[in-house]
Amino acid sequence: MIPFNKQNLFGNELEYIKEAYAANKVSGDGKFTKWCNDFIESKFETKKALLTTSGTHALEMAMLLIDLKEGDEVILPSYTFVSTANAIILRGAVPVFVDIRKDTLNIDESLIEAAVTDRTKAIFPVHYAGVSCEMDEISRIAKKHDLFVIEDAAQGVNAKYRNSYLGTLGDIGCYSFHETKNYSMGEGGAILINNERFIDRAEIIREKGTNRSKFFRGEIDKYTWVDVGSSFLPSEINAAVLKAQFENLDVIQNRRNEIYRRYNEGLKDLERSGSIALPNVPENCTSNAHMFYVITKDLEERTSLIKYLRNTGVYSVFHYVPLHMSEYYHKNFVKLNLPLTETLSSQLIRLPMFYSLENEAVDHIIESVINFYTNN
Ligand SMILES: *Cc1c(COP(=O)(O)O)cnc(C)c1O
């Protein structure tokens, strides 16, 4: 069977873990965490980067930083991972879902302004599949209505909008290094602080509400409880793994690009004949090839294709159940209709995409998809 995803070691992961033990420093904020923070700051160009225990926790930290409160509203797509909405709900605020664009499955920027009220506090663009939302327009709306922009760039590490890396365009950006993402530390993430006013407080919130980071830098002579907070810092064991992955950033990116192009080439005749639609990358965006998906005709066709692929030894999967159609949303909020979100989410299939996926396997997957459509 060809799995949907697979973990790869790139050389130094295990060495670095041993090094952390040899140095007798495996809890957070040692030299591996610092290396990764510095790497993110210089490579992606942000004022402050801090590793977190997950992408989910980076989002939750962002909500604490903007002081999101009960009754506040945040605008986001319904076609996203639960963590994007939970971060809002956990502060007692209200997620306001907006429909997506057909070409990128990202939030439709032309629908955002109509969803702004005097309770709106922030916009949450989610860069689906590592392809950027239309950030110029989103920034314009945010500026006009005095809103924060928090990027859920969990899938967008090393992808760009114009000349900027995703995660560096909003006030705050959130990355994930979960094993399903391009660069993995098992579980983990990072918060990118692009708006200087949040830098000091981000360090405090991440260190259980204490000024311990300042203490370790020798800026103060004792540390104490100064604000709310939690434990958002990952262990050095995880950071050691991420360092080895970052050292291979281009190697990983180049291979993913090759796989993406191979799928695109191999399946484009099926798109031309109208059987399927393929991912679209707008001209001002550079994708990180996080995902390769196919849009089928409808739910029934998708179910048959997944089954057909399974029978030829290929694990393909669908993606999000839109959040406004979830059990939790129905119990707590009024019914919503988001036509494109509802249709596209039922038509999409994700094909295997990981570093060690061989060309032979990609060709087999392409052939299987083509056979499915020629035989039906
Ligand atoms: C993966 C992901 C998250 C959560 O990241 P974790 O590191 O798994 O907590 C949040 N949002 C989106 C869009 C994601 O794809």
* pLDDT digits 0-9 by tens, 252-306: 999 999 999 999 999 999 999 999 999 999 999 999 999 999 999 999 999 999 9
Does residue 34 sit within a domain? yes
Pocket of ligand 1 contains residue 120 by CB under 6 Å = no
Tell me the two tokens of residue 313.
Answer: 């030894």
Per-residue model confidence (pLDDT) at position 128: 98
Query: Which ligand 1 atom sits nearest the alpha carbon of residue 59?
Result: 10
Residue 82 shares a structural domain with residue 159: yes
Tell me the two tokens of residue 333.
Answer: 């909020």
User: Given pLDDT bands bounded at 50, 70 and 90, which one contains residue 338?
Assistant: very high
d(CA 155, CA 292): 12
Per-residue model confidence (pLDDT) at position 164: 98
Residue 26 shares a structural domain with residue 90: yes
Pocket of ligand 1 contains residue 55 by CB under 6 Å = yes
Average pLDDT over residues 199-217: 94
Per-residue model confidence (pLDDT) at position 11: 86
End position of a domain, from candidates 226, 247, 268: 247
Does residue 35 sit within a domain? yes
Pocket of ligand 1 contains residue 347 by CB under 6 Å = no
Residue 224 shares a structural domain with residue 262: no
End position of a domain, from candidates 196, 222, 247: 247
Residue 46 shares a structural domain with residue 67: yes
**CA 137 to ligand 1 center in whole angstroms:** 24
**CA 375 to ligand 1 center in whole angstroms:** 37
CATH code where residue 328 lies: 3.90.1150.10
Strands (E), the chain: 48-52, 73-77, 94-98, 120-123, 148-152, 160-161, 164-165, 172-176, 189-193, 285-286, 292-295, 348-351
Average pLDDT over residues 54-81: 98
Query: Which ligand 1 atom sits nearest the alpha carbon of residue 181?
Result: 1
- Pick the closest to residue 291 from 268, 257, 251, 321 (CA basis): 257
CATH code where residue 183 lies: 3.40.640.10
**97 within 8 A of 82, measured Cβ to Cβ:** no
**CA 32 to ligand 1 center in whole angstroms:** 22
d(CA 187, CA 180): 9
Average pLDDT over residues 227-237: 97
**pTM over cut 0.95:** yes
Beta-strand relationship, 172-176 and 120-123 = unpaired
Neighbours of 122 (CB within 10 A): 23
Does residue 144 sit within a domain? yes
Per-residue model confidence (pLDDT) at position 243: 98
**CA 339 to ligand 1 center in whole angstroms:** 24
- Pick the closest to residue 92 from 119, 55, 53, 127 (CA basis): 119
**CA 329 to ligand 1 center in whole angstroms:** 19
Pocket of ligand 1 contains residue 125 by CB under 6 Å = no
pLDDT at 108 > cutoff 90:
yes
Residue 193 shares a structural domain with residue 295: no
Pocket of ligand 1 contains residue 189 by CB under 6 Å = yes
**CA 268 to ligand 1 center in whole angstroms:** 30
Query: Which ligand 1 atom sits nearest the alpha carbon of residue 189?
Result: 7
Domain that holds residue 296: 249-375
Pocket of ligand 1 contains residue 184 by CB under 6 Å = no
**306 within 8 A of 347, measured Cβ to Cβ:** no
Neighbours of 158 (CB within 10 A): 25
Q: What is the 3-state secondary structure (H, E, C) of 123-148?
A: ECCECHHHCCCCHHHHHHHHHHHCCE
Query: Which ligand 1 atom sits nearest the alpha carbon of residue 126?
Result: 13
Residue 234 shares a structural domain with residue 196: yes
Pocket of ligand 1 contains residue 320 by CB under 6 Å = no
pLDDT at 131 > cutoff 90:
yes
Q: What percentage of the chain's residues is helix, strand, coil (to nearest 5)? A: 45, 15, 40
**CA 54 to ligand 1 center in whole angstroms:** 8
Query: Which ligand 1 atom sits nearest the alpha carbon of residue 80?
Result: 13
Longest dimension (CA), the chain: 74
**306 within 8 A of 316, measured Cβ to Cβ:** yes
Residue 166 shares a structural domain with residue 264: no
DSSP 156-194: -TT-EETTEETTSSSSEEEEE--TTSSS--SS-EEEEE-
The structural domain count of the chain equals: 2
**20 within 8 A of 237, measured Cβ to Cβ:** yes
Pocket of ligand 1 contains residue 275 by CB under 6 Å = no
| Sign of the four-CA dihedral 295, 155, 139, 162 | negative
Per-residue model confidence (pLDDT) at position 45: 98
- Pick the closest to residue 203 from 28, 32, 363 (CA basis): 28
- Ligand 1 mutation pick, 176, 184, 241, 320, max ligand atoms within 8 A of CB: 176
Residue 66 shares a structural domain with residue 192: yes
Helix (H) or strand (E) holding 56: helix 55-65
Residue 254 shares a structural domain with residue 329: yes
Does residue 7 sit within a domain? no
Residue 81 shares a structural domain with residue 115: yes
**CA 154 to ligand 1 center in whole angstroms:** 5
Per-residue model confidence (pLDDT) at position 376: 80
Residue 99 shares a structural domain with residue 183: yes
Task: Report pLDDT digits (tens) over 21-48.
Answer: 999 999 999 999 999 999 999 999 999 9
Per-residue model confidence (pLDDT) at position 102: 97
Does residue 2 sit within a domain? no
Q: What is the DSSP letter of 284?
A: T
Q: What is the mean pLDDT of the chain?
A: 97
Average pLDDT over residues 184-197: 98
Does residue 3 sit within a domain? no
Pocket of ligand 1 contains residue 155 by CB under 6 Å = yes
Pocket of ligand 1 contains residue 150 by CB under 6 Å = no
Helices 339-347, 299-311: axis angle to 10 degrees equals 20
Residue 198 shares a structural domain with residue 140: yes
Whose tokens are 């992961």? That residue is: 13
Beta-strand relationship, 285-286 and 189-193 = unpaired
Burial of 225 (0-12, 13-18, 19+ CB in 10 A): exposed
Does residue 1 sit within a domain? no
